[in-house]
Chains A and B, each alone.
Chain A
Amino acid sequence: MSELSVNHLLGIKYITEDDIQLIFETADHFKEVINRSIKKVPSLRDITIANLFFENSTRTRLSFELAEKRLSADVINFSAASSSVKKGETLIDTVNNILSMKVDMVVMRHPNAGAGIFLSRHINASIVNAGDGAHEHPTQALLDCFSIREKLGDVAGKKVVIVGDILHSRVALSNIFALQKLGAKVKVCGPKTLIPKYINKLGVEVEGNLRKALEWCDVANMLRVQNERMDISYFPSTREYAQQFGLTKQLLNSLNKEIIVMHPGPINRGVEITSDVADSKQSIILDQVQNGVAIRMAVIYLLASKIKHHED
C-alpha cells in the first residue's frame, strides 16, 4: 500500500493500521532528510498550506510550520487572538475567505471537539487536525507511537500506561486509538475524577496506583495537568497530585526494569514529572519533538499526494 485511505487527517479513529504504517515508513525517509546538511525537499513547491490556530500552541505550530517549510510548501499563518474571529466571523466564513486565496491544505487547532470534521464537510481542501478540544490530536499520537517504535523496535505487544488528566486530554484519546490499532496494550492511570466514565468501552484498563502501573508497563506517557481546561477542582491540590501521580527519580529507580518516559509537553516540572526524570536518559521527550517534524512531513506529504494537479 502506498496511499492513505483518507483525504483528511481528522483523527486516529478514522484511519487504518495500514495508514499508520505508511505514515511511519514515509516518516523514516523524512527523518533521514531532516538530518542532512540541507534539510529540505522540493516536493510541495506548488502547494499552499494555511495554519489556522484558534487556540494557543507553541511546539505543535512550530513543528507543523517547520514540516511544511522543509517540504517547500508556501505557508500562511493565522492565530485567532489577532484576527477577525474576535469581530464575530463564523468558522466557515473565516476559512472560506482564506481558501479563496487558493489554499490547498488547512492545518487547524480549535478549542471545540469536532471542528475539523465539521469543516471537512463544508470546504474543499485537505484538513489536518492539530488538536480539537478534548477530542483528538492525531499527529501527537503518531509521533508518540513512532518514538516508541524507534526506541523499542515495534509497538505491537508493548505495554503503555498513560498517566494523568485523561478526561481533558485529546493526546490520551488519540494515543489510545493509535496504540490499540498497532497492537499495544494500554492502561490509564490518574485521579478518579480525571478518568472519563466511558474509558472501559475503549478496551482500556484503569489503574489507580502509579507504582503498580509503572511496574506493569514498558512505556509511561506522562500527560500534562491541563489547568486551563478545568472549570472545577478535580483534585485537592497540585502538591497532592504530584505526590500520588508525579513521576520521581526515586520511583523510577526503584522499579526492577528500565521503562521509557514520554511527555507530550509542555512540562509542568515537579508536577507530572520531576526535572531529574525529564532530563534522564530514560526520557525520550526531546526525541518526540524531533520525530514530530518527520511525522508531520509524512502526513502532509501523503495527503498532498492525493490533491491532484490541475493544468489551468
Chain B
Amino acid sequence: MSQKVLLNATEINIALHRLACQLIENHDSFQNTVLIGIQPRGIFLAERLKKILESDYKIANIKLGYLDITFYRDDFRRSDKPLEANTTKIDFVVENKKVVFIDDVLYTGRSIRSALTAIQSFGRPLEIELLTLIDRRFSRHLPIQPDYRGRQVDAINNEKVKVCWKENDGEDAVYLVER
C-alpha cells in the first residue's frame, strides 16, 4: 500500500479560507443559512469552517448540525460490511432555510443522494448547496456536483482519498492511498 500527499496542512488551510470566503459571498451574514456536516467525516470540515467564519470573519450565531445518513443509504443489505450509525444532531428548523451540506470527499454521490432524502425529515429547505474539500471527478454514479470545492482530484477506483484532521487523526493532510 503506497500513499501520496495530495494536500499538506498549509494547502488545506488556504483551501479552507477560500471556501469560507466563497460561502460569505453567497450567504452574507448567514442569517437564513444553516450548515450541515455529513456524518461521520464531514463534521470535522464543517466545524473548521464554522470556526474560521466566526474567528476570522466575525460572523456570529452560525447554525451547524450533524446529519447521519445510515438509515437512508441505498446499500443496506448489499454491502459486506454492516453499516454503523452515527449521531444526528440538528436542533434548529431547516424549513425555508438555505442549507449547505458539508462533506470531506465527493465520490459516487450516493451519500449526498441519501443526505438529500434524510434532510427532508427536518422540513423543506429553501435550497440546498454542497461543499466538499475533495471532488473526485469522473467517478460519479449520480448527477450530483459540488457548489464549492477545495480541490479536484482524478483518482481511479482502487485508490482511496483519505482526509486527516488534526483533532481526529493527529495531522491535517489529504492522501491518495493505493489499495
Identify the A interface with B (CB < 8 A): 2-3, 25-26, 29, 32-33, 36-44, 46, 71, 301, 304-305, 307-309
Contacts and interface: CB of A to CB of B under 8 A. Distances in A.
Q: Interface on chain A toward B: helix, strand, loop, or mixed SS?
A: loop
A39 B88 CA distance: 13
A308 B85 contact: no
Interface stretch (B22-30, B46-54, B70-78, B167-175): B70-78
A46 B78 CA distance: 12
Given A33-B71, A305-B82, A43 B88 contact: no
Given A41-B71, A42-B72, 4 more contacts: A29-B87, A32-B87, A43-B72, A304-B77
A309 B85 contact: no
A242 to B, nearest CB: 44
Contacts of B77: 46, 304-305, 307-309
A33 B84 CA distance: 15
B103 interface: no
15 contacts: A29-B68, A29-B71, A29-B85, A29-B87, A33-B88, A36-B121, A36-B122, A41-B121, A42-B71, A42-B117, A43-B76, A71-B71, A305-B77, A305-B82, A309-B78
B92 to A, nearest CB: 13
Contacts of B87: 29, 32
A139 B95 CA distance: 36
B120 interface: yes
Contacts of A2: 81-84
B86 to A, nearest CB: 8
Nearest to A47: B77
B52 to A, nearest CB: 29
Contacts of B84: 2
Closest 6 CB pairs of A and B: A41-B71, A38-B121, A309-B77, A3-B82, A29-B85, A2-B82
A308 B83 CA distance: 13
A305 B83 contact: yes
Contacts of A301: 71
A32 B76 contact: no
Q: Which of A2, A26, A29, A44 has the most CB of B within 10 A?
A: A29
Nearest to B84: A2
B72 A37 contact: no
A275 B86 CA distance: 40
Q: Which of B85, B88, B120 has the most CB of A within 10 A?
A: B85
Contacts of B122: 36-38
Interface string B1-23: 00000000000000000000000
A301 B85 CA distance: 11
A104 B121 CA distance: 27
Contacts of A43: 71-73, 76
A29 B73 CA distance: 15
A33 B71 CA distance: 10
Contact of B121 (A37, A46, A71, A304): A37
A26 B85 contact: yes
Interface string B105-141: 0000000000001001111000000000000000000
Q: Which of A2, A42, A305, A308 has the most CB of B within 10 A?
A: A42
Nearest to A71: B71
B72 A41 contact: yes
Contacts of B86: 29
Contacts of A3: 82
A37 B71 contact: no
Interface string B55-82: 0000000000000101111001110011
Contacts of A309: 77-78
Nearest to A46: B77
Contacts of A32: 87-88
A215 B33 CA distance: 54
Nearest to A33: B71
Nearest to A29: B85
A40 B122 CA distance: 11
A242 B149 CA distance: 69
